[in-house]
Amino acid sequence: MKVYAALDPRLPLSAVPGYAQRVELIGFDGLHVAETLHDSLAVALLALEHTTRLTVRTAVTLAFVRSPTLVAYTAWDLAALSGGRFELGLGTQIRQNIEGRYGMPWSEPRSRMRDYLGALEALFAAFRTGDRLDYRSPGYRLTRMQPYFNPGPVDVGDPPIWLGAVNAGMCELAGELTRGVVTHSTNSDPAFLAGVVRPALDRGAASAGRGEAPAIIASAAIATGADDHAVTADRERQRGMLAFLYSTPAYAPALERRGLDKLADRLRAVVKEQRWDDLPAVLTDDVLDQLLVSGRYDELPRILLARFGGLARGVVLPPITDRGDDGPLAACVAELRAG
């Protein structure tokens, strides 16, 4: 089992190098970089520059707010800089954020992501071979890549691409065109992975004639720490995060699968009234137990391997905090990696 550490989105850029080095020293296979307050590719650059073996994967970089050419250039640079340790995770985000936060147009996400991935492949091929760039689609017309602007091949090959996905359609696309799926904390329960995500990935892979099964990286909601007090504190942090996430209509189906339809309605009502501080109280302890994996570092390997062993190729642990816990956390990571 591969084990990845998440990164606190509020971590200042100046603290990223030290955090990445600490993640590497503890023994994680990689670092997951979200896109919340900072540009995920800028954070990835800092993490890669200050580590030597750590895989750094964006999870995820927002595709629809960026030109595929700019993303291709940056991904190519990061692959070269790191000796192949960079992996590009892409996601769509939701319509409200694309239009209202970024001021960019929205269109049907699955076909648009397919188009975006096609553009990236054409750009990578032009970089790799020097052949003429000629990608024409409803969304993009990429026909100009003079030698002066072509970075040329890199020794490590094309940056691997992953998709962040929450529904079967996007998982199927991931199976067809990418290394696999990085799940969202709202769609990482084992039943959904086995019943929806895995079959969709396999359908996509079969449609493309791919032999190797695309991978699942499980990014579940986890509350953990070295002792019970730390786990309890982390549960409260997760209560606030999950209440915010599940107030988003796009994630309501995850609650509906558990028979919690009315909970989604209550969360949306609180948001509509702009009572953001009241959101966590809507998630009772009983509900939180259904949405969250909880356990000390010494308990976590058994819990996660029981949930995700045989389903996921890797798991993502929450951002690490207390330096005094690095020893127990390192033992947890080592046990998971051996599982």
Q: What does the pLDDT look like over 74-104, one tens digit per residue? A: 999 999 999 999 999 999 999 999 999 999 9
At 191, the pLDDT band (50, 70, 90 cuts) reads very high
- On the question of pLDDT at 133 being above 90, the answer is yes
Round the CA-based radius of gyration of the chain to a whole number and report it.
Answer: 20
At 116, the pLDDT band (50, 70, 90 cuts) reads very high
Helix (H), strand (E) at residue 238: helix 228-246
How far does CA 56 lie from the centroid of its chain? 11
Around 290, how many Cα atoms within 13 Å sit in the side-chain half-sphere?
13
Helices and strands counted in the chain (H then E): 15, 13
| Most distant CA pair in the chain, distance | 61
d(CA 105, CA 101): 11
Fold of 2-225+294-338: TIM Barrel (3.20.20)
Helix axes 109-129, 168-177, angle to 10 degrees: 10
Neighbours of 306 (CB within 10 A): 10
Range of weakest confidence among 53-62, 213-222, 261-270: 261-270
Tokens of 122: 């054409």
Contacts by residues 74-78 (CB-CB < 8 Å, ≥ 24 positions apart): 74/41, 75/41, 75/120, 75/159, 76/124, 76/127, 76/151, 76/154, 76/159, 77/151, 78/41, 78/44, 78/45, 78/48, 78/159
d(CA 87, CA 56): 6
At 140, the pLDDT band (50, 70, 90 cuts) reads very high
Global pTM value:
0.96
Tokens of 320: 């690490």
Region 210-227: mean pLDDT is 96
Helix (H, G, I), strand (E, B) or coil at 320: coil
The segment(s) of the chain belonging to CATH 3.20.20.30 are 2-225+294-338
Give Cβ neighbours of residue 339 (< 8 Å, ≥ 6 apart). Answer: 1, 301, 305, 309
